[in-house]
Amino acid sequence: MSRPLRSNFEPGTTRWAMRRAQWRAMGLSAEDEVKPKIAIVNSSSGLASCFSHLDGIVAPLKAAIRSAGGVPFEVRTAAPSDAITSAGRAGQYILPSRDLVVHDIEVAVEGAQLDGMVCLASCDKTAPAHLMAAARLDLPTIVLACGYQATGRYRGEHVDFEDIFLRAGHVASGRLTVAELGEMSECAIGGPGVCAGMGTANSMHIACEALGMAMAGSTPVRANGDRMWRAVQAAGTRIVELVTEDVRPRQILTPDAFRNAVTAILAVSGSVNCLKHLQAVAVEAGRDVDIWRLFEELAGDVPLLTGVKPNGDRHVDEFEDAGGTPALLKQLAPLLRLDAPTVTGPRLGELLSDVRVADPEVIRPLEDPLARHPAIVVVRGSLAPDGAIIKRTVADDAPLRFRGPARVFTSREEGLTAIRRGDVRRGEVLVLRGLGLRGSPGMGLTSAFVFALDGAGLGEHVAVITDGQLSGLVNKGLVVGEVAPEAATGGPLGLVEEGDEILVDVPERRVDLLVDEKILAARRDRLPPLVPAVGCGWLDVYAREVGPLTEGATLGGRPPQATADSGG
């Protein structure tokens, strides 16, 4: 089914005349006026290598769109990089930047009434933002993953960005010198693209394809590699067809699609950040899907099929060469909803019918997985009534049950200072609170704290509980992240006092504060109210508007659910 192009205004109207005058000055012809108008959403920046190649993708993509009968327009958005943008306000800008990109897209694409979009996804927050915008606007959309970066060698050993991230925590303990870390940083990244590990970016790129919102076979790929360029050409051609056929995101983003994406993320032990991002996409799509419950429901059924760093010893280029996401989905086929639609055209099952797994040692079959324990565990209990997240590695070498006295920190810096001074003791449960959506605001990054513990040799001897967020590359020790509700909004984490006994039980999926409820009630009465943000800065706006993690940390709450007309 096709529908009239919304970009085609009635001749003689003011909007038609103004647009015609502007576009004539840009070289567009009368014939172009009636063609599909396609946005190339370029979340590009010169600040980080994550995005440094995106501008070079625009021209070939424009050419592909023109050849298919469309008219391309490049539009720009914010381009947050976790490695660079996290420098300000202790990382508080990182998560809120996701929603800023969504609003950027809405203003540019909805304001101009364009007909479809291809979104150039790169660093961690861009892919989820592009999916959220696609779901919100419900315009034909393809998310084009623009690849991962080449890595390097240091003193004869493989080194990548994850190693830099981890080893920075080793300097304070004397396990690594500043000079050595500097030498490593000079050779860790060999080109543009996202971090070369199973962090948030590559995890979300895989999720895009598992959802059906990326072209088949387009994730993960080497930045500027042959597969990436083939995907650019295919996306440019297909987006015009999607507009003509009126295939919209809410027809793709069904409950089955989200189930497939969760299954894929569990099978690769993807980033814990995928939970809130996928939930946010579901909210924007108007879907009544509880991503946290899906992870809980599927955790026991989905084994770990690959061990890409930081989960195991494999590298992401090995995963790509073994067949990438199509090969992963092929192995997972008995667990998937194969009738799910895709932007590629055929249903998922049809796309997988001819897929071959090039190396079943890298992407294992269901009957011979790397591990059968859940890769991502949602825990609940008196300390996290709405849930929290634990990541498990292939080796599963972190403690599975931990009980100890609480040690409370109210900022990342306070915790880091204690580690540097040697004030952290084995057996303690380290509570890092006040870093949630409202308390930071924006969720402060706690990864440096975890890596500093590892550098001090304490990673396996303490537990960490925080309402802050973690990098998708964090996979050290027993860390309970993104505790909900957060401390600042009255969550139980805000009631913890020094010395309180806390129990973390991974097999039972529990995290409990072992304090009598009457005592907690008295503490709750003494809690100061959250002071509302009153400024005009982006973090102030975010603090006032952000919803809970259970709704994906979206702004303004849930929109109406999808209708039958939009695929509901």
Cα 171 from Cα 154, distance rounded (Å): 17
Is residue 52 annotated as part of the catalytic site, yes or no?
no
Give the burial class of 491: count Cβ atoms within 10 A of its Cβ; 0-12 exposed, 13-18 middle, 19 or more buried: buried
Please tell me which residue in 440, 447, 471, 566 is annotated as part of the active site: 471
Specify the DSSP class assigned to residue 11. T
Tokens standing for 510?
């529990």
Cα 241 from Cα 249, distance rounded (Å): 14
Tokens standing for 345?
């055209």
Which among 264, 257, 253, 133 has a CA at the least distance from the CA of 198? 264
Cα 210 from Cα 65, distance rounded (Å): 24
Cα 408 from Cα 493, distance rounded (Å): 10
Beta-carbon contacts of 469 under 8 Å, excluding residues fewer than 6 positions away, are 94, 95, 273, 435, 443, 444, 445, 446, 481, 482
Cα 300 from Cα 133, distance rounded (Å): 32
Please tell me whether the peptide bond between 399 and the residue prior to it is cis, using omega within 30 degrees of 0: no
Cα 341 from Cα 255, distance rounded (Å): 11
Tokens standing for 295?
């992870």
Q: Does residue 206 contact residue 270 with C-beta atoms inside 8 Å?
A: yes
CA 196 to chain centre: 15
Which among 253, 213, 228, 242 has a CA at the least distance from the CA of 127? 213
Q: Does residue 221 contact residue 147 with C-beta atoms inside 8 Å?
A: yes
Tokens standing for 44?
């590009």
Phi and psi at 456, nearest 5°, equal: -85, 5
Residues designated catalytic = 471
